[in-house]
Structures are given as C-alpha cells and as structure tokens.
Structure 1
Amino acid sequence: MTATADAEAAANELTPLADYLGSVLRRLRALPPLDLDLTQAHGNVLAEDVVAPHAFPAFDQAAVDGYAARWEDISGGGRGPSYIPAPSGTPGGRTIRLNVVGDLGAASWRPVRLTPGSCFSVAAGAPLPVAADVVVPVEWTDQGMAAVEIFRTPKRGYGVRRAGEELPAGTLLARAGTYVSPALVAVFAATGIGHVVVRPSPRVVIVATGDELVDVGRGSQPGQVVDANSHALTAAAAEVGALAYRVGICDDDPEGLRGLLEDQTLRADLIITTGGTGTGPGDMVRRILSRREGGRAGPVTFTDVALYPGTALGFGTVGAEEVPVVCLPGDPGAALIGFEVLARPAIQLLAGAEPVFRPSVRAHLLETVSSPAGLREFRPAHVAERRGGGYTVQPLSGGPFTLSGLAEANGLLVLGERVTTAAAGSTVDVLLMDRRR
C-alpha cells in the first residue's frame, strides 16, 4: 500500500467535520432570556420580536432650522404675502415677505396656528404650527426677526416630518435573533421602549493545560512554552460577544483539573480548555475527562475529526449543572482553527444568534495549493473584492499552523476532504473573518 493510500485509509477512520459539528450543536440550547434595561441590551441578541408601541416621529415637527409657513403663502397662491423686488441674481425676480409671529424650539409644547401671511421661526425638532406644511431653510431667507424675506421657494412638504412618517405605531422593529446594535437601541428608545427581552451574552471560561506552560512576559525555552492559547482564545471569545474569563494555566494534575472545572461551572455557560486532547504520553486532559468511572463514560467525549489542523476535539458537560465544555488542541494555530469551527458556533448558539457560522463566499484562487487527503483544511488567506464583482483569495505563506498567517488573514480558505490539489484559477470556498480594522 502506498503512502497516499495509507493516508486515505487513516482519514477514512476519522469523523467528517459536518457530522461532528451537527452532533455537538444539537446538544446545545440558547440561554434562557432576560428582560434588560435598554442601556444594557447592546451586544445581545433579541429573544422576542419587538414592536413599536408609539409612532416616530411622535408629532409633526420641523426637520431643519428655518421658518414654518403655509406653502400657498410662499408659492403665490395666497393673499397674505407681500411681494418685493428680489436681490440681484435671485431666481424668479422677486422675494416674499411674511410676518414672523413667534419662535418655536424643540421644547415648545403649546399648540399654535398659522394665519395667512404669517410664519414661525422654528428650530429642527420643534413641533409644527397647525396649518404649516413647509419649512423654509434659514439660508433661503434674510433671517429676519419681525418679518422675513424669502428668496427661494421650496416644494410643499419640504423640511417637514409628519407624525409616524418613519415608524408608525405597531411597526415590527426587529425580529427575535437580531443583534442589538447602537442604531437599534436608538430606534427602540425613540419609539418609547425602555426594556427588551434578550439572550444574555454567554459567560465563557478559558483554561490552558500543560506542565510545560509558563505565562506571558518571557520567551519559550526547552521544557517551557509560553501560554499564547488562553490569551488568544479569551480574545476570540470576547470578539464574538461572550463575557470571556481567562483562568490561566492548569498543570497536568488530575485532581487539580477536575477541581478547577467544578469551580468554574459556578460562573460559566461554556468552558474551553486547550491542550492535552491527543493520545500522547502527556495528553492528560483526554485521559482525565474521558475516563470511565462506575461503569459510565467520562463527561467528555474526544473525537478524531477529519479536520486540518488539529484533528482531536472534545465535547461534553461537567459539573452538576452540566455546563458544556469544548476541548481544543494545544498547538496555537490548531487551537484557533478549532475555536473557529467548533467553539465559536457553540457561543453563537448559546447567545441565540443566527447564523451560527461565519459568512462564506466563493472566490477565485490566485495560487495552486495542496491539501491532505481526507481532511477538511482551513488555511489562512487574504480575500479581496474584484472590480466588476466577485472575490479573489490569496493563501498566506506557511499554511494553517503559522500564527503570523492567522494574524494577517481576513479569511479562511476551505479545502474539502476530497481535495488534494486546488489549481490557481479554480473557485474555492472562503470563510470571511470580521476583523475590526
């Protein structure tokens, strides 16, 4: 049997990634909803549809600073205005003079009415006088105080916002599953909403395991490896909207690990561990969490998945509250890819967000690449939009294990299990990374 055939045979024993993800995500449920004050709702996902209890705008109002008037008075159809010669160069050859009978600001509340030949000076947001159907901008006038001369006639309705024009009462403002953005907070507030029912942000605890790990602030040396994973995964969990807590480093001590995980269940909706998922002599997480006790399987099941990099992943629950736990590999690149394909969708599902996976596009491959047989590879890449539509994707050097490639990538090139070579010019799938830069 050839080396290629051996690789394919070994890959056939692995669980397809799609099957594995389906089996894991079916075991998760969105967190119970909470009624939150509007100021606390940003960043969460709505658990219920939200309907406007009041109209927006709530009343007829001026949209610009100027003079509220009757359009028939300034268009020449009324009897009230006086016509005087226009300044040199004014279109139409004449101006219109109206009496200014008062000022209205945003805090004005007494109802007033226009009479023919009169107008009110108004600020943007001020309630309109009864019978007003146009606001002449300040810059189209001589800005008079007792009387105003209008040099240019706007169309009927200019500068006016009618009650309910934008959002009538009863309008569906947002559906369940919608992310509460700053703009949506403004919409809710403007229509009289002070509380909304949302899914809370998942509380995610990150634990790095391994006797070899040391904390940041120093360089690695033989027998010691700087813990990059827990810091990176904490940042990744926060980026997706979780309340992320980095516990730090846990040695390969069975009782210490069990005790730590039990303690963290009190404040976690999801626990992520990194390291020890393989079958080597130092892979204690897999040994400890998958150990059968009392004839029952361990709390976490470890599966060899057709994924590159990092085939070994774990999922299960720990503690009396059965808090979900995701176990990722110890290699930093494999841990970050594992987070993307498993932990990130789990967090999204707990948060009630849809869709749970990153958006993807089809892109024109700029460089020929090879991929391991039987494995679904996720490779750092740079995606760009083409003139005229579509995308191109450039794989970054070093492959999926390079941290520098992951740091530069704005997408992940996805090569399926049956792809061993993807030629330049072919069309491939790419996950888009929502990097904020």
Structure 2
Amino acid sequence: MTATADAEAAANELTPLADYLGSVLRRLRALPPLDLDLTQAYGNVLAEDVVAPHAYPAFDQAAVDGYAARWEDISGGSRGPGYVPAPSGIPGGRSIRLNVVGDLGAASWRPVRLTPGSCFSVAAGAPLPVGADVVVPVEWTDQGMAAVEIFRAPKRGYGVRRAGEELPAGTLLARAGTYVSPALVAVFAATGIGHVVVRPSPRVVIVATGDELVDVGRGSQPGQVVDTNSHALTAAAAEAGALAYRVGICDDDPEALRGLLEDQTLRADLIITTGGTGTGPGDMVRRILSRREGGRAGPVTFTEVALYPGTALGFGTVGAEEVPVVCLPGEPGAALIGFEVLARPAIQLLAGAEPVFRPSVRAHLLETVSSPVGLREFRPAHVAERRGGGYTVQPLAGGPFTLSGLAEANGLLVLGERVTTAAAGSTVDVLLLDRRR
C-alpha cells in the first residue's frame, strides 16, 4: 500500500467536520431570555421581534434651522402682503418678505398656526406650526428677526420631517436573532422603547492545562511552554460576544482538574479547555473526562475529526448543571482554528445569534497550495476585493500552524477533504475574519 493510500485509509476513519459540528450544535440551546433596560442591551441578541410602539418622528418638525412658512407664500404663486419685488432667485426675479411672528425651539410645545404672509423662526427639531409645509434655510435669507427677506425658494416640503415619515407606529424594527448595535439602540429609544428581551451574553470560562505551562511575561525554556492559549482564547471568546473569564493554568492533576471544572460550572454557560485532547501519555484531559465510571461513559466524548490542523476535539457536559464543555488541542494554531470551527459557533448559538457561522465568500486563488488528503484544512490568508467585483485570496506563508500568519490573516482559506492541490486561478471558499466589533 502506498503512502497516499495509507493516508486515505486513515482519513476515512475520521469523522467529517460537517457531521461533527451538526452533532455538537444540535445538543446546544440558546440561553433563556432576559428583559433588559435599553442601556444594557448593546452587544446582546434579541430574543423577540421588536415593533415600534410610537412613530418616529413623533410630530411634524423642522429638519434644519430656518423659517417655517407656507410654500405658496414664497413660490411666487401668492401675491399677498409678503410679496415684495426685488432681484433674487425667487421665480420672476423677486424676493419675498414675510413677517416673523414668533420663534420655535425644540422645547416648544404650544400649537401655533401660520397665517398668509407670515412665518416662524425655527430650530432644527422644533415642532412645525400648523399650515407650514416648507422650512427656508437661514442662509437663504437676510436672517431678519421681525421680518425676513427670502432670496431663494426651496421646493415644497424642503426642511420638513413629517410624523412617522421614517418609522410609522407598528413598524417591525428588528427580528429575533438580531445583534443589538448602537444604531439599533438609537432606533429603539427614538420610538419609545425602554426595555427589550434579549439572550444574555454567554459566560465562557477558559482553562489551559498542562504541567509544562508557565504564565506570560517570560520566555519558554526547555520543559516549559508559555501559556499562549488561555489568553488568546479569552480574547477570541470576547470577540465572539461572550463574557470571557480566563481561569489560567491547571496542572495535569486529575483531582485538581475535576475540582476546577466543578467549581467553574457555577459561573459558566460554556467551558473551553485547551491541551490534553490527544492519546499520548501526557494527555490528561482526555483520560479524565472520557473515563468510564460505574459502567457509564465519561462526560466528554473525544472525536477524531477530519480537520487540519488539530484533529482531536472533545465535547460534552460537566457538573450537576450539565454545563457544555469544548476541549481544544494544546498547539496554539490548532487551538485557534478549533475555536473558530467549534467553540465560536457554540457561543453564537448560546447567544441566540443567527447565523452561527462566519460569513464566507468565493475567491480567486493567487497561489497554488497543497492540502492533506482527507482533511478539511483552514489556512490563514489575506482576502481582497477585486476591481469590478469578486475577491482574491493570498495564502499566508507557513500554513495554519503559524501564529504570525493567523495574526495577519483577515480570512481562512478552506480546502475540502477531497482537495490535495488547489491551483492558482481556481475558485475557493474563504471564511471572513472581520474582527471589528
């Protein structure tokens, strides 16, 4: 049997990534909804559709500073008391002089009415007088106080915002599953909403395991490895919208690991461990969490997934509350890729977000790449938009294991299980890593 045939045979024993993700995500449910004050809703996902209880704007109002008037008084169609011959931009080469009968600001509340040949000085946001259908900008006038001369006539309706013009009462403002952005908070507030029902941000605890780990702030020595993963994955969980808590380093001590996980179930909606998912002598996480006790399977199932890098992934629940736990490899590149393909969708699902996966595009590959047979590879890449439409993708040097490549990447090139070589010029799938929240 050739090396290629051996690799294909080994790959056939692995679980396809899509099947594995489906089996994991079907076991998760979105967190119970909460009714939150609007000031606390940002960053959460709506649990219910939100409908505008009131119109926006709530009343007819001026959109600019100027003079609220009747359009027929300034259009040249009326020759009432305000019509004064003068050279200007008014039709017929005339300007218009109107009596200014009052001032209206944003805090004005008494209803007033226009009479022919008159106007009100208004500030942007002020309620319009009854009968007004145009606001003449200040700069188009002589800015008079008792009377104003208008040199240019705007179109009917200029400078006016009618009640409900933007959002009538009863408008569907956002559907369940929508992320609450600052702009959406503004829309809710403007239409009279003070509380919304949301899914809470998942509380995610990150634990790094291994006797070899030491904390950051020093260089690695023989027999020591700086704990990269717990810091990186805490940042990744926060980027995904979670309330992320870094527990730190847990030694390969069975009782210590069990006790730590049990303690964390009290404050976690999801626990992420990193390290110890393989089958080697030091892979304590897998040995402890998958161990059969009393004839029952362990709380976590470890699966060899057709994923590159990092085939060994674990998923299950721990503690009396059955808190979900995701177990990722210890190699930093594999841990970050594992987070993207498994832990991040789990966080999105718990948060009630839709969709749970990052957006993807089809892109023109700029460089020929090879990929392991039978594995779905996620490789750091740089994606750019092409003139005229479409995208190009440039694989970054070093492959998926390089942290520098992951730090530089704005996308992950995805090569399927059947792809061993992707030629330059071919079209490939790319996950977009938009890290601007």
**What is the CA–CA distance in structure 2 between the aligned matches of 1:348 and 1:113, rounded to whole Å?**
54
1:120-141 deviation per Cα after TM superposition (whole angstroms, max 9, x unaligned): 0000000000111110000100
**What is the CA–CA distance in structure 2 between the aligned matches of 1:373 and 1:160, rounded to whole Å?**
65
Please give the secondary structure, in 2, of the residue aligned with 1:120. strand
- How far residue 85 of structure 1 moved from its aligned partner, in angstroms, is 4.6
Match of residue 322 from structure 1: 322
Match of residue 179 from structure 2: 179
- How far residue 188 of structure 1 moved from its aligned partner, in angstroms, is 0.4
Change (3 A) 1:282 1:74: same
- How far residue 92 of structure 1 moved from its aligned partner, in angstroms, is 4.7
Contact 1:79 1:117 in 2 (8 A): no
- How far residue 372 of structure 1 moved from its aligned partner, in angstroms, is 0.3
**What is the CA–CA distance in structure 1 between the aligned matches of 2:155 and 2:87, rounded to whole Å?**
21
Please give the secondary structure, in 2, of the residue aligned with 1:400. helix
1:368-393 deviation per Cα after TM superposition (whole angstroms, max 9, x unaligned): 00000000000000000000011000
- How far residue 190 of structure 1 moved from its aligned partner, in angstroms, is 0.4
Match of residue 224 from structure 2: 224
- How far residue 82 of structure 1 moved from its aligned partner, in angstroms, is 3.3
1:301-342 deviation per Cα after TM superposition (whole angstroms, max 9, x unaligned): 000000000000000000000000000000000000000000
**What is the CA–CA distance in structure 2 between the aligned matches of 1:347 and 1:8, rounded to whole Å?**
33
Please give the secondary structure, in 2, of the residue aligned with 1:425. coil
Match of residue 141 from structure 2: 141
Contact 2:90 2:96 in 1 (8 A): no
Change (3 A) 1:89 1:155: closer
Please give the secondary structure, in 1, of the residue aligned with 2:401. coil
Contact 1:276 1:282 in 2 (8 A): yes
- Structure 1, unaligned stretches of length 5 or more? none
1:29-61 deviation per Cα after TM superposition (whole angstroms, max 9, x unaligned): 000000000000001000000011001100000
Please give the secondary structure, in 2, of the residue aligned with 1:4. helix
**What is the CA–CA distance in structure 1 between the aligned matches of 2:113 and 2:79, rounded to whole Å?**
17
**What is the CA–CA distance in structure 1 between the aligned matches of 2:16 and 2:82, rounded to whole Å?**
83
1:278-298 deviation per Cα after TM superposition (whole angstroms, max 9, x unaligned): 001110000000000011000
**What is the CA–CA distance in structure 1 between the aligned matches of 2:52 and 2:191, rounded to whole Å?**
6
**What is the CA–CA distance in structure 2 between the aligned matches of 1:326 and 1:352, rounded to whole Å?**
18
**What is the CA–CA distance in structure 1 between the aligned matches of 2:114 and 2:435, rounded to whole Å?**
55
Contact 1:205 1:268 in 2 (8 A): yes
Contact 1:66 1:138 in 2 (8 A): yes
**What is the CA–CA distance in structure 1 between the aligned matches of 2:128 and 2:331, rounded to whole Å?**
66
Contact 1:17 1:305 in 2 (8 A): yes
Q: Which moved more, 1:280-289 or 1:71-80?
A: 71-80
- How far residue 182 of structure 1 moved from its aligned partner, in angstroms, is 0.5
Change (3 A) 1:353 1:338: same
- How far residue 75 of structure 1 moved from its aligned partner, in angstroms, is 1.1
- How far residue 435 of structure 1 moved from its aligned partner, in angstroms, is 2.2
**What is the CA–CA distance in structure 1 between the aligned matches of 2:338 and 2:214, rounded to whole Å?**
22
- How far residue 223 of structure 1 moved from its aligned partner, in angstroms, is 0.3
**What is the CA–CA distance in structure 1 between the aligned matches of 2:271 and 2:89, rounded to whole Å?**
74
**What is the CA–CA distance in structure 1 between the aligned matches of 2:254 and 2:306, rounded to whole Å?**
28
Contact 2:76 2:91 in 1 (8 A): no
Contact 1:275 1:327 in 2 (8 A): yes
Contact 1:79 1:116 in 2 (8 A): no
Contact 1:271 1:323 in 2 (8 A): yes
Contact 2:271 2:324 in 1 (8 A): yes
**What is the CA–CA distance in structure 1 between the aligned matches of 2:104 and 2:42, rounded to whole Å?**
35
Please give the secondary structure, in 1, of the residue aligned with 2:43. coil
- How far residue 88 of structure 1 moved from its aligned partner, in angstroms, is 7.3
Match of residue 18 from structure 1: 18
Please give the secondary structure, in 1, of the residue aligned with 2:400. coil
TM-score (norm 2): 0.98
Percentage of matched positions with identical amino acids: 96
Contact 2:214 2:225 in 1 (8 A): yes
Contact 2:332 2:403 in 1 (8 A): yes
Change (3 A) 1:88 1:316: closer
- How far residue 83 of structure 1 moved from its aligned partner, in angstroms, is 3.7
Please give the secondary structure, in 1, of the residue aligned with 2:164. coil
- How far residue 76 of structure 1 moved from its aligned partner, in angstroms, is 2.0
**What is the CA–CA distance in structure 2 between the aligned matches of 1:112 and 1:389, rounded to whole Å?**
54
Q: Which moved more, 1:229-238 or 1:91-100?
A: 91-100
**What is the CA–CA distance in structure 2 between the aligned matches of 1:66 and 1:391, rounded to whole Å?**
48
- How far residue 78 of structure 1 moved from its aligned partner, in angstroms, is 2.5
Contact 2:382 2:396 in 1 (8 A): yes
Contact 2:88 2:152 in 1 (8 A): no
Please give the secondary structure, in 1, of the residue aligned with 2:282. coil
**What is the CA–CA distance in structure 2 between the aligned matches of 1:110 and 1:46, rounded to whole Å?**
38
Q: Confirm whether residue 162 of structure 1 aligns to residue 162 of structure 2.
A: yes
- How far residue 244 of structure 1 moved from its aligned partner, in angstroms, is 0.2
Please give the secondary structure, in 2, of the residue aligned with 1:334. helix
Match of residue 363 from structure 1: 363
Contact 2:73 2:82 in 1 (8 A): no
Contact 1:81 1:96 in 2 (8 A): no
Contact 2:35 2:195 in 1 (8 A): yes
Change (3 A) 1:173 1:357: same
**What is the CA–CA distance in structure 1 between the aligned matches of 2:70 and 2:307, rounded to whole Å?**
71
- How far residue 81 of structure 1 moved from its aligned partner, in angstroms, is 4.2
**What is the CA–CA distance in structure 2 between the aligned matches of 1:114 and 1:381, rounded to whole Å?**
64
**What is the CA–CA distance in structure 1 between the aligned matches of 2:90 and 2:127, rounded to whole Å?**
30
Q: Which moved more, 1:285-294 or 1:90-99?
A: 90-99
**What is the CA–CA distance in structure 2 between the aligned matches of 1:252 and 1:88, rounded to whole Å?**
87
Q: Which moved more, 1:76-85 or 1:202-211?
A: 76-85
- Structure 2, unaligned stretches of length 5 or more? none
1:178-226 deviation per Cα after TM superposition (whole angstroms, max 9, x unaligned): 1111111000000000000000000000000000000000000100000
Contact 2:76 2:92 in 1 (8 A): no
- How far residue 404 of structure 1 moved from its aligned partner, in angstroms, is 0.3
Contact 1:413 1:428 in 2 (8 A): yes
